[in-house]
Amino acid sequence: MPAMIDHPTDQATQTTPQHVPEVVIVGGGFGGLRAAHALRHAPVHVTIIDRSNHHVFQPLLYQVATAALSPADISGPIRGIVRRQKNTEVVLAEVTHIDTGRQQVYTHDLAGSYDRTFPYDYLILATGAEGSYFGHDDWAEYAPGLKTIEDAIAIRRKVLLAFEAAEAEMERDPEKAKALLTFVVVGGGPTGVEMAGAIAEVARNALVKDFRHISPASARILLVEAAPHILAAFPQSLAEKAKGKLRRLGVDVRLNARVESVDADGALINGERLPAKTIIWAAGVKASPAGEWIGAETDPAGRVLVLPNLTVPDHPNIFVIGDTASVKSHEKPVPGVAPAAMQEGTYAGKVIRARVTGKPAPGPFVYFDKGSLATVGRSFAIAVIRNLQLSGFIAWVTWLLVHIFFLIGFRNRVLVMFQWAWSYFTFQRGARLITYNHADERVPAAR
């Protein structure tokens, strides 16, 4: 990939009294919103297109999935977030394709159910990623991933229904009840580790006194990782501490364990058949189809190979950021994490603002790694902040403060702080709601 930066004259649209440059941002996640924020005072018109009307704080989705928080606690309406930006509008629509020659984004409107087209002078693709099943997409039906609010609500329903169904089945079919009380989390990254620890705490703390025929504390939770270590992005010493904490919570951590098949009744792991009714997938991600929309070169995970200024080769007015982009900083791949997406969004906005105002564009994108955090159940986390390594309660408090700081909106911060304090002192989960369509032939957990 050539290391070059295009200049403001490269296909840039200068601001004139006759024309206000159109900036279309596809995706209202961390990167897209930061790009819009960076353009709030620029002489441009910004259109944010997203197929959801809300922004989600994805690092806390697992807390919705395990009934610690409600969906509204970690999300906010995109329109509300940008309501003070007079040059910005929001469209609830799904992108169907992009014509880079005509510079048009084609969408299907999800509110009015008709097709709409949006011209652009600059295009920012911040469409994120989805779960990757490594060629076994049929597994998704039985092992849902955790990327959206809808995913989190579905997993919460599945987990809570498993206990309800086990209570009903214990006297009639103990083996089925045992399978219902077996939870398998596939993937030993931060999401998998946090999910496994949270399920263990739900079983051993929040639900322990609520049932009469089963003992929720007897639930079996397995964390399955194909690699030799969990939390590969962390120093091995911290990963070992996290593994020890998981095992103290009662989580069976299985390393070098390869999932060979998944179905409605369980999974085949390293040749061993494991009966389990609840399997959660946290093993990998792949980029959105944005690369296909613009005909760009992508890596094996579908991420667009972008230039050091986050633009697409041969398309200097198209930026790709966040999980959709494959970019290097300091000769190292930029990780697919929220802080990276936010920094990329801010950078793309600055480049566009410089171009339309005729000022020099900033140099190549440089990622500033502020550190990594992962929590393992109540009162324990691991953290790497520059050269500082933390574990235990201090790291957990750091994790709390960082996540509270990045939550959008004062209301969300106050509510989450209250919910966490209540859960910490009472060991309870305040969002234990089972919601499903009562017209369904049978509920998912009882299959």
The full set of domain ranges for the chain reads 22-131+285-356, 143-282
Distance (Å, whole) CA 267 – CA 359: 57
Pairing of strands 315-320, 122-125: parallel
Phi, psi of 11 (to 5 degrees): 55, 25
447-to-124, 162, 287, 441 alpha-carbon distances in Å: 43, 10, 32, 10
pTM above 0.85, yes or no: yes
Q: How confident is the model at residue 206, as a pLDDT?
A: 86
CATH architecture for segment(s) 143-282: 3-Layer(bba) Sandwich (3.50)
Q: How confident is the model at residue 387, as a pLDDT?
A: 87
Q: How confident is the model at residue 325, as a pLDDT?
A: 96
Catalytic residue selected from 22, 169, 194, 225: 194
What would the two tokens of residue 149 be? Answer: 């609010």
Q: How confident is the model at residue 411, as a pLDDT?
A: 66
What would the two tokens of residue 279 be? Answer: 């399997």
Residue 194 known to be catalytic: yes
Same fold, 22-131+285-356 and 143-282: yes
Distance (Å, whole) CA 405 – CA 407: 6
Q: What are the pLDDT digits (tens) for 98-119?
A: 999 999 999 999 988 789 999 9
Q: How confident is the model at residue 2, as a pLDDT?
A: 40
Considering the four listed CATH numbers 3.40.50.300, 3.50.50.60, 3.40.50.10800, 3.40.640.10, the one that applies to the domain covering 22-131+285-356 is 3.50.50.60
Q: How confident is the model at residue 139, as a pLDDT?
A: 95
Q: What are the pLDDT digits (tens) for 120-151?
A: 999 999 999 988 898 899 999 999 999 999 99
The stretches in the chain having pLDDT less than 50 are 1-12, 15-16, 439-447
Distance (Å, whole) CA 123 – CA 319: 6
Q: How confident is the model at residue 111, as a pLDDT?
A: 87
Q: How confident is the model at residue 425, as a pLDDT?
A: 65
Instruction: Report DSSP state, residue 40.
Output: T
143-to-14, 250, 381 alpha-carbon distances in Å: 50, 22, 26
Q: Which of 166, 280, 283 is nearest to 218 (CA)?
A: 166
Distance (Å, whole) CA 46 – CA 302: 26
Sheet containing strand 266-269, edge to edge, reads: 259-263, 266-269, 272-275
In this structure, the chain runs to a length of 447
Q: What are the pLDDT digits (tens) for 407-437?
A: 766 667 777 777 777 776 666 666 777 876 5
Q: How confident is the model at residue 258, as a pLDDT?
A: 94
The residues, any chain, with a CB within 8 Å of residue 136's CB and separated by 6 or more, are 261, 262
Q: How confident is the model at residue 127, as a pLDDT?
A: 96
